[in-house]
């Protein structure tokens, strides 16, 4: 696997709107770039078109078994992103707080983590463990995710691995505490981010998506999978 670690100029030109993604199209290979932004490792174009399509099909099966739902924050506000999970645990949120649960809010067990998602974990995580949750986020037109830390897991030495599929998403990376300067990067379909090490608790969020920028999902939108060791 070619992993050319590129310098800051690549990062700047990515921000100026040049397209480094493979847009989810079959047969189009882009050179793999690995960026490090505030400790987050961003693998541009890690997944080719057929790998992306296989993941979308696996997500479609998971969503059939455990439908997407709109979680409420503990403060009673509906989140803009719809979610479900696969694995032994799924992430839920309601008036009782943010937490992992063995059951979907409708009562069923979560489906198994798709093999194609486990393969991504094995390629990039450098972990001896397997993820116990694959959180599936769906961003419809206008959806966003506020700045937050991922801190409902027990062992912060384990990374969170994020897979982007479908429309581009503007991913913002902050600091270990709320506030301060931030840096943003457009995540394209097939990009994978490893949030680990000293950056494991860095604040991050998604400001917006470019609805309709990818043809991977028939009706547009963005899927994000995050693989997590929970306990
Ligand atoms: O959608 C993304 O790229 C990030 C998702 C995320 O931050 C999360 O699920 O905690």
Q: What is the mean pLDDT of each run of 10 residues along the chain (231 residues)?
A: 28 28 39 92 98 98 98 95 98 97 98 98 98 98 98 98 99 98 98 98 98 98 98 97
CATH code for the domain of 39? 2.60.120.590
pLDDT at site 76: 95
The number of distinct structural domains making up the chain is 1
CA-proximal residue: ligand 1, atom 10 (nearest): 150
Q: Which residue's CA is the closest to the ligand 1 atom numbered 6?
A: 205
State pTM to two decimals: 0.87
Range of the domain at 188: 4-228
What's the half-sphere exposure (Cβ side, CA atoms, 13 Å) at 11?
Answer: 15
Residue nearest (by alpha carbon) to ligand 1 atom 1 = 224
Residue 15: its pLDDT value, please? 26
Tokens encoding 181: 């300067």
Ligand 1 is surrounded, with C-beta below 6 A, by 135, 137, 145, 150, 162, 164, 169, 171, 187, 204, 206, 224, 226
Query: Which pLDDT belongs to residue 44?
Result: 98
Positive/negative CA dihedral, 213, 217, 221, 225: negative
In angstroms, what CA-CA distances link 77 with 81, 99, 199?
A: 12, 16, 28
Q: What Cα–Cα distance (Å) separates residue 197 from each residue in 44, 59, 176, 187, 217?
A: 20, 28, 12, 21, 32
* CB within 8 Å of 17: residues ≥ 6 apart: none
- How much is the pLDDT for 13? 30
Atom of ligand 1 nearest to the CA of 139: 1
In ligand 1, the atom with minimum distance to the C-alpha of 81 is 1
């Amino acid at each position: 696997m070619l992993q050319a670690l590129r310098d800051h100029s690549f990062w700047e030109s990515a921000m100026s709107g040049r397209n480094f993604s493979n847009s989810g199209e079959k047969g189009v290979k882009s050179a793999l770039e690995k960026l490090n932004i505030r400790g987050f490792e961003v693998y541009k174009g890690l997944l080719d078109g057929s790998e992306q399509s296989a993941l979308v099909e696996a997500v479609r099966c998971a969503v059939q078994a455990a439908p997407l739902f709109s979680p409420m924050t503990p403060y009673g506000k509906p989140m803009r992103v719809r979610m479900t999970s696969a694995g032994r645990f799924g992430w839920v949120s309601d008036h009782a707080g943010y937490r992992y649960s063995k059951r979907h809010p409708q009562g069923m067990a979560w489906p198994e983590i798709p093999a194609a998602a486990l393969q991504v974990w094995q390629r990039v995580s450098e972990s001896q463990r397997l993820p116990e949750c694959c959180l599936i986020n769906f961003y419809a037109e206008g959806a966003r995710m506020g700045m937050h830390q991922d801190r409902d897991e027990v062992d912060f030495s384990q990374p969170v691995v994020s897979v982007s599929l479908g429309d581009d998403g503007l991913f913002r990376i902050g600091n270990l505490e709320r506030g301060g300067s931030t840096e943003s990067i457009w995540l394209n379909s097939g990009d994978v981010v490893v949030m680990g090490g000293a950056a494991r608790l860095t604040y991050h969020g998604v400001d917006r998506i470019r609805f309709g920028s990818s043809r991977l999902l028939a009706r547009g939108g963005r899927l994000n999978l995050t693989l997590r060791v929970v306990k």
